[in-house]
Amino acid sequence: MPPEHQDHSLSVGRLENEGFDTDCEGAFCIDCSMWIGPHRDTEEEAEGDASRHREAVRQQRQRPSAHAARVTFDEHEAEFMKGLLDEYPEDDPHFGPYFADFSDCSGHVGLGRVTEEEAAAEAQEHHAAFQKIAAAS
């Protein structure tokens, strides 16, 4: 089977922040070199992100689309982050309430980022990865 038609190599597992367990799960695509969903409470939810990514890759190969990105702000995540910072003011957060969001992938496609600019950069990476998939098909 040609490499462009093989499944992407995905990894689902525990997220760490500077060596500390975050109590969250995440999904990462090795072929795309990017996170493919937000941090999740359970491994099953992260597996769902992996399945969603596999389906998006399959769809992109069959019917290439633009994978136009937008950055969204998650109010619930912002409140959660505020609570963490109130409780641990010395921490420097690496996750935040800004997400790269793609309708072609059915939602958030990366970890929440602290700034809108970080999420926009992640959205660009995602867009480029899916254009590469379309070009290889």
The predicted model scores a pTM of 0.77
Instruction: Return the pLDDT at 36.
Output: 92
Task: Indicate the length of the chain as a whole number.
Answer: 137
Q: 21-30 b/e with 16+ CB inside 10 Å = b?
A: eeebbbbbbe
For residue 4, pLDDT over 60 is answered with: no
133 pLDDT band (50/70/90 cuts)?
confident
What average pLDDT score do residues 102-107 get? 84
For residue 29, pLDDT over 70 is answered with: yes
Strands of the chain, DSSP E:
10-17, 20-29, 34-35, 70-73, 98-102, 107-108
Instruction: Return the pLDDT at 3.
Output: 45
Q: 3-class SS at 30? A: coil
For residue 5, pLDDT over 70 is answered with: no
Mean pLDDT of all residues in the chain? 87
Containing structural domain, residue 63: 3-136
* Token digits of residue 7: 């499944």
Q: At what angle do helices 43-62 and 116-136 cross, to 10 degrees?
A: 50
How many domains does one find in the chain?
1
